[in-house]
Amino acid sequence: MYKSIIKRYFDIILAILILIPTAPIMLIAAIAIKLDSPGEVIFKQERIGLNGKTFWIYKFRTMCVGAEKMAGGVYESHNDVRVTKIGNVLRKSSIDELPQLINILKGEMSFIGPRPPLTYHPWKYEEYTKAQKRMFEVRPGISGWAQINGRKAVEWHKRIKLNVWYVDHCSLGLDIYIFFMTIFKIFTNADNENTGATVSADKDAKN
C-alpha cells in the first residue's frame, strides 16, 4: 500500500510545496547558467526508470556542452574543468537537482528511491541480472539508500545491492530517515564526487 499509493501522494504534495518557494531560486539559477556559458539551461538525459522504462531526467546544466564526449566521459574528477563556475555552485548546493520536481509530478520519479542509471552505464537494462532488476520495482528517486551510504564513491554492483535492499525495506519511516540524511549530506557535501571508475572490472561482481 505504501509503495504503490501512499508514497505517490506524498511525492505530489511535497513536490508542489517545494516547487512554489523554490521557483525564484530556479529562475535565478536559469539566468545565471545562461549568462555563464553557452548552451541550454536544462540538461536532459535518458535514464532507466520504473519497470525498466526509459524517461528523460531534468537537471540544471552544470557542465559545458558535450561534456560526456570529452575526457572523463561519465566520470567527474576533482576540480573537473568541464564543470562551469555556476555549475560548481549548483552542484555543491544540489540546486541542479530541483528540475527533477517536474519528473516527480509527471510520475517518473519519487523523492526517495534508487537513483536512475543511464541507459548504457553501468550496463544496458538487458544486462542487469534478474536480482538486480528488482531495483526498478519502485520509482527512481532524487536521493536514496545508496546515496546516504557512500553516494558517488560506491561501486555500481554495491550500489545496486543497496538499491535492492531499499526495495525490500521501503517504508515511510525509512524514507523520512533518508530524506533528513540527504539534507545532512548536502550541507556537508559528503561523497559528492566520482573519484574514479565505479564499475567493477570483475564481471562476477554483478551477481
CA 172 to chain centre: 20
The radius of gyration of the chain's CA atoms, rounded to the nearest angstrom, is 17
Instruction: State which residues of the chain have pLDDT below 70.
Output: 70-79, 190-207
pLDDT at 152: 73
Q: Which three cell numbers stand for residue 51?
A: 519497470
pLDDT at 71: 59
Sign for the CA dihedral angle at 98, 138, 207, 128 comes to negative
Q: Tell me: the pLDDT tens digits for 36-50?
A: 999 999 999 999 999
Q: Report the distance separating Cα 177 and Cα 145, nearest Å.
A: 9
Enter the pTM of the model.
0.86
2 neighbors 171 (Cβ within 8 angstroms): yes
pLDDT at 167: 97
140 neighbors 116 (Cβ within 8 angstroms): yes
pLDDT at 200: 57
Q: Tell me: the pLDDT tens digits for 167-185?
A: 999 999 999 999 999 999 8
